[in-house]
Structure 1
Amino acid sequence: DFEYNRNLFDAATVQRIAGHFESLLRALLATPNEPVATLPLLTASERTRLLVDWNETSVPFEARAGYHQLFERQVAKTPNAVAVRFEAQVLTYAELNQMANSIAHQLQEAG
């Protein structure tokens, strides 16, 4: 059991720190000549959570939808969100969509 200031830490945090300390001690015993700075602190479950679970960023992708359709969906979802920023110039999805549609109509008229 650890003694700690309950005003500063909750039990889960102390448990996590204890796991880090245990990982460090195990690594020190296994590789005593390694510099401490190179030894792991994360537990195996934390490492998996950080590198695998939280890094799972795949999202369903509709293979038959064109880029323009995917963009139009984003415009519908977040019309006022920033889509493009360059130096001091900012365009929302709605503004960028309006410009793209204007260019598309001009191209269609030009043949």
Structure 2
Amino acid sequence: MQGRLRAVRVLLLYLALAFAWTGRTWAAPTTHLIGTPGFSDAPQLAWELAWVPYAVTHHLNPLFTHLINYPTGANLTWPIAPMPLALLGWPLSILAGPVVAYNVLLTLAIATAA
């Protein structure tokens, strides 16, 4: 039991540190993405977090879209890493939006990577 309690305490500490490190974003989590504006893939990842649930619920192919790279469209199989994240963040993306889902997932990733 002591080992589990210690693990929970460490996880909470890492979550607090991750939250503190990304704190400025949490002042406006629906409009601000974690990352350096113009120098990160945050907007693309947030878009993909919204696209996958939309595509699946509208019976569209989540791996291809005409909504970006007009008129040819974009093959989304090369950034395949966001697919599992989009499925994991689907409920949060629906409830709070893709920007909040991105911020929560990235904060959790920082905490669990520690």
Sort the TM-score into its range (normalised by shorter chain): under 0.3
Q: TM-score, normalised by structure 1?
A: 0.26
Give the number of the structure whose residues are more often strand, by fraction. 1
Higher RCO structure, 1 or 2 (CA under 8 Å, sep 6+):
2
Q: Which has the larger radius of gyration?
A: 1
Give the number of the structure whose residues are more often helix, by fraction. 2
Q: TM-score, normalised by structure 2?
A: 0.26
